[in-house]
Amino acid sequence: MSKENKQIRLTDNEYRLMEVIWDTEPVLATKLVEICLEKYGWKKSTVYTMLRRMDTKGILSFADGEVVSGIKREQALKAEGEALLQKAFGDSLPDFFAAFLEGRHLTKEESDRIQKMIRDATE
């Protein structure tokens, strides 16, 4: 199964690290350590441990001191959305939408965008 098609589940900290990587890649690991220390208070050893583990999982590539993502942000977001849909809503899109739309007023633009997504998914 290709990286494009496999389910990617990230821990909260893996997702935080990937956000930095997606925003700065390619990035030197030393620079990544500086950013993570400032942003999250993580020590060098924490960042390097995560990099090695995530490299083994195919989430990123960590070689010669440089880090690049092995997955796209969209893949991670899709996997998170699907996991939430399954866990909290029993894989029911109508229940998911009902929960998020309850008590909320959509703008015309939001409504049009959602309706277009539904039309596109049913064609």
**How far is CA 90 from its chain centroid?**
21
> What does the pLDDT read at residue 6?
53
Burial class (CB in 10 A: 0-12, 13-18, 19+), 80: middle
The dotted CATH code for 1-91 is 1.10.10.10
Q: What is the pLDDT of residues 45-73, one digit of tens each?
A: 999 999 999 999 999 999 999 999 999 99
Nearest to 62, CA basis, from 15, 30, 23, 19:
30
Q: In sequence order, which ranges of the chain are alpha helices (DSSP H)?
A: 12-24, 29-40, 44-56, 73-89, 93-101, 108-122
Domain boundaries, the chain: 1-91, 92-123
Q: What is the pLDDT of residues 69-92, one digit of tens each?
A: 999 999 999 988 888 899 999 999
